[in-house]
Amino acid sequence: MLVLSRQRDETIMIGDEIEISIVDIRGDKVRLGINAPTRIAVHRKEVYEAIKRENTQAARLGTTDLDSLAQTIQPGPARRAQRNDEIQVAKKDSFTSPAVSLGATTVRPFTSSVNSSSQDKDSA
- For residues 12 and 37, state if they share a domain: yes
Tens-digit pLDDT profile for residues 2-22: 899 999 999 999 999 999 999
Tens-digit pLDDT profile for residues 56-115: 888 876 667 777 777 777 667 766 777 777 777 776 665 555 555 555 555 555 555 555
Question: Does residue 52 lie within any of the structural domains?
Answer: yes
- For residues 19 and 32, state if they share a domain: yes
3-state secondary structure of 93: helix
- For residues 33 and 12, state if they share a domain: yes
The answer to whether residue 33 scores a pLDDT higher than 80 is yes
Question: Does residue 3 lie within any of the structural domains?
Answer: no
The alpha carbon of residue 105 and the mean position of all alpha carbons in its chain are separated, in whole angstroms, by 41
- For residues 37 and 54, state if they share a domain: no
Give the count of domains, the chain.
2
Question: Does residue 17 lie within any of the structural domains?
Answer: yes
Q: What range defines the domain where residue 28 resides?
A: 8-41
- In the predicted model, what is the mean pLDDT of the chain? 77
Measuring CA to CA, which residue among 29, 43, 38, 36 is closest to residue 13?
36
Question: Does residue 107 lie within any of the structural domains?
Answer: no
pLDDT at 107: 54
Is 0.85 surpassed by the pTM of this model? no
